[in-house]
Structures are given as C-alpha cells and as structure tokens.
Amino acid sequence: MNSYCNGLECRECGRKFNLEPIFACDFCFGPLEVDYNYENIKADLSKNKIESGPNSLWRYAPLLPCNPDFKVDLGDGFTPLIKADRLANAIGLDNLWIKNDTVNPTWSFKDRVVSVAIAKAIEFNFSAIACASTGNLANSVAAHAAAAGLDCYVFIPQDLEQGKVVGSAIYAPTLIKVDGSYDDVNRLCTELSMVKNWAFVNINVRPYYSEGSKTLGFEICEQLGWRTPDHIVAPMASGSMYTKIWKGIKEFHKLGLIDEPKVRLSGAQASGCSPIATAYENNSFTFIPQKPNTIAKSLAIGNPADGYYALKQMAETNGHASQASDSEIIEGMNLLAETEGIFAETAGGVTIACLKKLVQSNKIAKTEETVAVISGGGLKTIEAVSDVANNAMLIKPNIDSFEMNLAH
Amino acid sequence: MATVKIPTPLRVTTGDLDTVKGNGKDLISVIEDLESQFPGIRERLLDENNELRRFVNIFINGEDVRFLDSLSTTVTSSDEISIVPAVAGGSKNLL
C-alpha cells in the first residue's frame, strides 16, 4: 500500500511534525493538520472503488489519516441524503436535501470523528480513550471504546440532558460530570492530556479525529451523483465540522472526482451561544468568547477553537452565518419532524431555523439547491419538546369515546 | 509570585518544567518576567502586535483572561495562571 500521509504540518507557520499524538505547534501554538500525499491517494482511489466499498465512512479510507486495519466500525456514516420537498415548500426553496446524520450508530455525526480517532488511538497503542464532550461525542466515544474493549474516560458538563448522560453511561465508561461549562471541561481535559497517557480523541488525537467530518462532504458529493449542491447549511459549535465539510469537497476536486466546486457554505448557531455568528455580523474574523445559555447544548461552545477558520471559510465561499433563539429552535425541530418525518435534536432545530432565516432574508436564493446537515437525533434532547406529548387524546377503550374526543 | 502552568508545546522553552513562577502586577508583566527567565517564551505567546496569539488561551484561576482585562488583568501571588493551547483543526487551501 502506498503511504497516504507525509506527516503533520502547522496550519499557521508551516512547521512539519511527525505523525504523533500532538495537536499544537510548539512554536506558534497553531493547529496541526495532516499533510497528505494526494498523488498516492489519486493513484489508488476512483469513483468505482469508493462505490464498491463498505456502506460506512470507511469507503473513503485512503482519505482518512489512519490504518483501516485498526478500525472499529459500528456502521458509522454513509447516512441517507433525503430529498425534502415538503420542508422546501414550507420555507420557500425549490430544491432542498437533508443530510440525515441522526441515524448514525449513536445517533449523531460524532460517530464519524470517533470512528477515525479510535482507529488512530489503537494504532498509537493507547490503552485508554477519553474525551471532553457536550454529550454526543461522549456517547460515541463510550460506545466505540466498549466495542474495542478499551478503558474509557468521558468528561461532560454537569447540566446535560438526561438522554445524553444515560446515552454514555449505558456503555459503562468512567463518566465524569464536571461542575462547569463545556469550555471549563475542555480546558481541564487539555491540561489532563498533558499528564495522562490517554488518547483524548478531541485533544491530542484531534488532527486525526477532526478529519472524520470530511466524510460529510464526501458523502454529499457522492450521493448527489459526484457533484456539489449550490449551498450547504451546517451547525457550528467549535466550527470544526463546518470547516471539514469544505475540506472534503476540496479534496474530492483535487482528486478529480468532482468539477470545481462553486458551493457556498453557511453556518448555524444558537443565539444563546453565537460567538461565530456574532463575529460574522460584525464583519470580523476575531470572535469574542461567550458564556453559553441555550437549549442547544451540543452547540454550547463559547470559545470555539475553529471559529477563526469558520469565519475565513464563510468569506471564501461567499456563505453566511445565522442564529436562532430557543423558541425558533423548537419551531425548527417541530417543522422538520412534521414535514419530513425526521426527529432531530436541538442542534437540528438550530440548522432548520437558520436555514429558514437565510431563505427569508434572500441570503439563500429560492433557486439554490441546498443541503441542510442534521447532526443528531431528537431522543437525546426530548426535554426541549416534551410539551408535544400533551397533545395526546385520552379516551375510554370504546368507539364512542374515540369519536366524541375526535370531534372536539 | 504567581504560579504559571506550562503546556507541553511550550516546555521546550522552560527546560521541560511544567510549572514555573512569574513575577508582576499584571499578566503582561508576568509574561515579561517569564521571558527574562526563559528566553523565547514571549514570542510564542504574543504576536508582532503584542497581542495574545490566536491559538493561545490564558486562564487565571480557571477564568479565560478575555473575560477579564486580557493582558492587563491584575495578578496576585496567590493566582494560578494556566497557558492552554486552543485545540483547533481547520483546513488549508487545496483549490
């Protein structure tokens, strides 16, 4: 097999590093990114090879920075791209698709990044896996660690939704609730990563982990028939997934799998945690950190590490950012469920609410073929919409009672 | 003197020390004091405009200094200053 990875490279100053579990340049603290040998990848990858590969993100293995022999594949990725005509009609678009990542093994897009990170952690010979998480990542790390038989330490803020806490605990990791925000948890874990010999998937394994999100971009192109849409709308927490979708599309172009992409990428945030969207509105590439207060807890990162790159990408692709209030988020969740039969978590409500606003403000034209990324499933955050259960009728077990209640 | 926790990528300047002491009434003067002890540390933390580098986070007693007075934040001898790299990814231009 040809070698597909040359090493790591600092995104800011270009210094080169070996492929090790490190994440920051020791000169400028810039992020380290995998430096691929695209010529070798091009020689080994074709549309036919991808199409005959597994029905998971591992069909794109040469573009993932790990040895697929170490993969722990629960069926991660390759989720449906669904034509959303009823939702399109409701919000005033001609042509809308939903990238439905609610159907991943642990019901969120985080299975993409974890699938890659666990393989890399095993390749690096770590015996324990850990993460700082707003919940979805915790669920996925705990599940994959269980399947791989690895020790697992999961750090979460103490105020998470019950579905996300149980959704980690069931896999029997060491689950640690931290009295603080996600940003506190992240700082703690960054410090811990320097004293514990564990693979913190989103810290010391991050240069590899984050590449898993590229597969969203790969899949959107492949599922549309090896082409890009006009517009993609994705949720932003750290901003990583939003930037990696674009990276995936650019890689497909570089490898000759798609024509030059003209796609615009827009990002969605909750008003209660909108450092990236607020900087966009202020025409700034420098975000100001916030203290989150939103029901979209999976997006509640007040100090988004990739915020700068997300803002640059908005400018580069002529995309936009939007933000949604808590009530708009709930309306978005309801609208998606009622029109398309997809029950998304609060982050999906953010994406739909922001999509609607971008269309209403003509930032997305009616004729633009658009893909909305729905990143997690609704049973994780039922607290947000549990009022809908009050709409149920209560009847006696006979036809008269039913007919009488139905008439009311 | 305040306690300063040094992250792994910065230990090339401190001779592998993970915790050092820094003297100064505010954060910028602590950084200047660190530079006198560990030459080279300043340019890793501050850019050419004397501002914190984009991917450097500094916390005083757990609070991000950007919520305080940034480099002018007052420092006392009982404070613990943590220097923590932002954990970003990004994607370079491939087009």
List, for residues A375-394, the tens digit of each pLDDT value: 999 999 999 999 999 989 99
Whether B94 is covered by a domain: the verdict is no
For residues B92 and A250, give the distance between their C-alpha atoms in angstroms, rounded to a whole number: 10
Whether B92 is covered by a domain: the verdict is no
Domain that holds residue B44: 2-85
pLDDT reading at A207 higher than 50: yes
Q: Comparing A2 with B13, which gets the higher pLDDT?
A: B13
Q: Which residue of A26, A203, A251 is in closest CB contact with B9?
A: A26
List, for residues A167-205, the tens digit of each pLDDT value: 999 999 999 999 999 989 999 999 999 899 999 999 999
Q: Which residue of A203, A253, A309 is in closest CB contact with B87?
A: A203
Query: What's the pLDDT score for residue B85?
Result: 87
CB contact under 8 A, A190 and B85: yes
Question: In percent, how much of chain B has pLDDT > 70?
Answer: 92
Query: What's the pLDDT score for residue A2?
Result: 53
Whether B91 is covered by a domain: the verdict is no
Whether B93 is covered by a domain: the verdict is no
List, for residues B60-89, the tens digit of each pLDDT value: 999 999 999 999 999 999 999 999 988 765
Whether B65 is covered by a domain: the verdict is yes
Query: What's the pLDDT score for residue A85?
Result: 98
CB contact under 8 A, B87 and A191: no
List, for residues A36-57, the tens digit of each pLDDT value: 999 999 999 999 999 999 999 9
Most A CBs within 10 Å, among B91, B92, B93, B94, to test the A interface = B91
Whether B40 is covered by a domain: the verdict is yes
Mean pLDDT of chain A: 96
Question: In percent, how much of chain A has pLDDT > 70?
Answer: 100
| DSSP secondary structure string for all residues of A329-378 | HHHHHHHHHHHH---B-HHHHHHHHHHHHHHHTTSS-TTS-EEEEE-BBG
CB contact under 8 A, B84 and A190: yes
Residues of B in contact with A26 (CB under 8 A): 8-10, 12
ipTM of this complex:
0.83
pLDDT reading at B92 higher than 80: no
Among chain A residues, CA nearest to B92: A11
Query: What's the pLDDT score for residue B94?
Result: 61
Mean pLDDT of chain B: 91
Q: Which residue of A29, A250, A308 is in closest CB contact with B95?
A: A250
Length of chain A in terms of residues written: 408
Whether B53 is covered by a domain: the verdict is yes
> What is the domain count for chain B?
1
Provide the pLDDT confidence category of residue A408 given band limits of 50, 70 and 90: confident
Q: How many CA atoms lie within 13 A of A378 on its CB side?
A: 21
And the tokens for A259?
Answer: 């024509």
Where residue B65 sits, what CATH number does that domain have? 3.10.20.30
List, for residues A4-26, the tens digit of each pLDDT value: 999 999 998 899 999 999 999 98
Query: What's the pLDDT score for residue B71?
Result: 96
pLDDT reading at A278 higher than 50: yes
CB contact under 8 A, A184 and B62: yes
pLDDT reading at B6 higher than 90: yes
Of A232, A318, A249, the closest CA to residue A280 belongs to: A318
Query: What's the pLDDT score for residue A1?
Result: 47
Whether B51 is covered by a domain: the verdict is yes
For residues B15 and B17, give the distance between their C-alpha atoms in angstroms, rounded to a whole number: 6
B→A contacts (Cβ < 8 Å), by residue, are 5, 7-10, 12, 18, 44, 53-57, 59, 62, 64, 66-67, 82, 84-95
Q: Which residue of B54, B62, B89 is in closest CB contact with A33?
A: B89
Among chain A residues, CA nearest to B6: A191
Q: Minimal Cα–Cα distance from B28 to chain A, Å? A: 18
pTM: 0.94
